[in-house]
Structures are given as structure tokens and as C-alpha cells.
């Protein structure tokens, strides 16, 4: 196993301020967008974007009322949520509210008359990959959810959860941009994004809970999967596909049997994996950062805090015990 995760293709990250409406529209270069300013005054905008593989995340804000018209690339879907709103807006003829979700179909024109002051968060994903995820991980066909037009009805809690999820992604990448160099992190982020989009749209509601014996079997098989792939970080979606259960069944099983969600379980398994690797480290120049990154930990200060909370010592202390000469 190499000391560092495999590299990915280059990613796009940009964060900028705009002072012209056409300059702002050009930020989303492949959307065939056209913006017209409707309210008087000096335009000021901000735009932030993260692109990796088939995933595009962006955050934009403007201080003027703008009429937006555009077309996403065919084979994609976009889902946006309002982050800030001052004034009224209309999306494809429907009023926009703070908890509105804006669903855009690739290849179809959309029209958005923005509020005078607003900020929104959005994700654009490959439709086929989202559908594959839904069928393999959620055990659900998302055709109904993705077939909706304009502003799909969403409970405020779902919109808030989706908004918080996107904000968390932006915060994590700003703090640790090198995390996008890891194929594991890219895959895990794309899978988590697919899950968040389906959850926001209400996909998979009404699934029946698994029987008690099956829940225990799911836990046993999950632990076996982790042990069989020692040294290869797994995501929740990976577990679902390997075991053959839905994400909701996995979540419920972990909560009922272990009083722990799958994310925390996998983090604990990865922390244990790091600890074993630190204790077995030889004099080959391995650092705590190298070993942590190999197990999918890129935010080193957070990793160190989690490690110390779990094991009562710093990861560097564990490494020093393995190599007394340090």
C-alpha cells in the first residue's frame, strides 16, 4: 500500500467577487446562461465553486434583482436551496420562499427572477450516477422525484438539512482543500451528496424497518466488510452496496443495535486502523499525516482531537511508542 492516497484528476476551486452582471453569468461557463439586471444600482456579486469529477457545487449571491435564464448540460440535474433571502423571487412562475428547493433539469430552460438580495447554494450532479446510487444504496427508483418541475414541495426540515449539508461541504473544503486529492474523499462526498439530494426530495420515504434478527445480521456483515477491506476506507454507501441493504435499513440497524450511526461506526473503525498502523510503523519515514491520510483523515487537527478522545493519547504519542528513537 502506498503511503499516500491515489491522486485524482485536477479539481476546480474558485472564490471571487463580481462587479458586472455578464461577468457573474459567465462564472457558470457551460450553462448557456443569460442574466439581465432589473433593479437600479451598482451590481455586486459573489461566487464560489467546487468542481470534482461529475460534481459541481456552487454558492452565489447578488445585491440586485436579476432575470436569469439558462440551460444546464443534458444528462444532469441541479438542486439549489436558498441560503439568504430579502424580497420576493419567482422560479419558473412559482414564488420562492426561504425553504424553497429549486430543481433544474439538464437540457431544459429555466427562468429565475431573483429577489433583490439573495444567496443560494446549489449542486449539479450526473443524473445517471444519481440514479445508480439510488437503486444500489437507497433501493429506490428516483424517477418520480427527479421528474418534478420547478419548486418541488419540501418540508422545512428537509430544506434546512440540505442547506446545512452544502454549507458543511464548503466549510470542509475551505479548511482542508487537499482532501479533494483523495479518490476516497471524492467518492464519499459524491455519495453523501446523492443521499442528501434524495433526502431533500423525499425519496425512499415509507420504507419498512428491518426485523430484529436481520438488523443484527446487517451489523455483523458490516463489521466483516470493514475487516475484509483493512486499509481501504469505506463509506456508508460502500457498506450498503457490499451488504445489499438500503441506507435507511443500515442506519436503523446501527441505531437500534449499537446506538451509533454508521458514520460514527466507520469513523471509529478508521481510527482503530490508524492506531494499528501507527503502532506497526517502521523506520520508513511514515508520519502521522501520511498514515491518517491513508485512512481518509485530511483535517489533521480534527483527526487528532477525535483520536485523543477515543484512545486517551495523541497520535504522535502512539507513533513514538512504536519508534522509541523519536
* pLDDT for residue 3: 35
CA 196 – CA 188 distance, rounded (Å): 12
Percent above pLDDT 70 for the chain: 89
pLDDT in tens, 104-125: 999 999 999 999 899 999 999 9
- Each domain of the chain, given as residue ranges in start order, spans 12-200, 212-322
Domain 212-322, CATH 1.10.10.60 — does that match? Answer: yes
pLDDT in tens, 131-180: 999 999 988 888 888 887 767 666 678 899 999 999 999 998 998 888 88
User: Taking CA 267 as the corner, what is the angle to CA 313 and CA 165, rounded to the nearest 5 degrees?
Assistant: 120
Q: pTM for the complete prediction?
A: 0.81
211: confidence class by pLDDT, cuts 50, 70, 90: low
Higher pLDDT, 294 or 274: 274
DSSP three-state, residue 67? strand
pLDDT in tens, 213-253: 788 888 888 888 887 776 677 888 888 888 888 888 888 88
Of 81, 151, 92, 143, whose CA–CA distance to 118 is shortest? 81
Please state at what angle helix 236-243 crosses helix 183-200, rounded to 10 degrees: 80
CATH number belonging to the domain at 12-200, selected among 3.30.460.80, 2.60.120.10, 3.30.465.10, 1.10.150.670? 2.60.120.10
CA 29 – CA 61 distance, rounded (Å): 17
Amino acid at each position: 500500500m502506498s503511503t499516500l492516497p491515489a491522486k485524482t484528476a485536477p479539481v476546480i476551486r474558485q472564490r471571487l467577487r463580481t462587479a458586472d452582471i455578464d461577468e457573474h453569468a459567465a462564472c457558470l461557463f457551460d450553462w448557456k446562461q443569460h442574466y439581465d439586471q432589473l433593479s437600479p444600482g451598482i451590481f455586486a456579486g459573489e461566487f464560489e465553486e467546487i468542481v470534482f469529477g461529475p460534481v459541481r457545487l456552487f454558492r452565489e449571491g447578488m445585491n440586485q434583482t436579476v432575470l436569469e435564464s439558462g440551460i444546464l448540460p443534458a444528462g444532469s440535474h441541479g438542486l439549489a436551496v436558498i441560503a439568504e433571502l430579502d424580497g420576493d423571487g419567482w422560479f419558473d412562475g412559482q414564488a420562492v420562499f426561504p425553504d424553497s428547493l429549486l430543481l433544474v433539469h439538464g437540457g431544459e430552460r429555466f427562468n429565475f427572477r431573483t429577489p433583490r438580495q439573495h444567496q443560494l447554494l446549489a449542486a449539479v450532479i450526473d443524473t445517471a450516477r444519481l440514479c445508480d446510487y439510488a437503486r444500489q444504496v437507497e433501493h429506490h427508483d428516483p424517477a418520480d422525484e427527479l421528474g418534478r418541475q420547478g419548486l418541488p414541495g419540501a418540508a422545512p426540515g428537509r430544506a434546512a438539512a440540505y442547506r446545512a449539508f452544502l454549507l458543511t461541504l464548503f466549510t470542509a473544503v475551505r479548511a482542508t482543500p487537499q482532501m479533494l486529492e483523495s479518490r476516497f474523499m471524492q467518492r464519499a462526498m459524491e455519495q453523501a451528496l446523492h443521499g442528501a439530494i434524495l433526502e431533500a426530495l423525499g425519496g425512499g420515504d415509507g420504507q419498512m424497518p428491518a426485523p430484529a434478527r436481520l438488523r443484527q445480521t446487517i451489523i455483523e456483515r458490516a463489521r466483516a466488510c470493514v475487516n475484509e477491506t483493512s486499509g481501504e476506507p469505506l463509506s456508508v454507501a460502500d457498506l450498503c452496496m457490499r451488504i445489499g441493504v438500503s441506507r435507511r435499513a443500515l442506519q436503523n440497524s446501527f441505531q437500534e443495535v449499537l446506538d451509533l450511526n454508521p458514520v460514527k461506526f466507520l469513523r471509529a473503525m478508521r481510527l482503530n486502523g490508524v492506531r494499528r498502523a501507527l503502532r506497526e510503523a517502521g523506520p520508513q519515514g511514515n508520519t502521522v499525516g501520511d498514515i491518517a491520510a491513508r485512512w481518509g483523515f485530511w483535517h489533521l487537527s480534527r483527526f487528532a482531537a477525535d483520536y485523543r478522545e477515543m484512545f486517551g493519547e495523541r497520535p504522535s504519542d502512539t507513533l513514538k511508542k512504536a519508534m522509541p528513537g523519536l
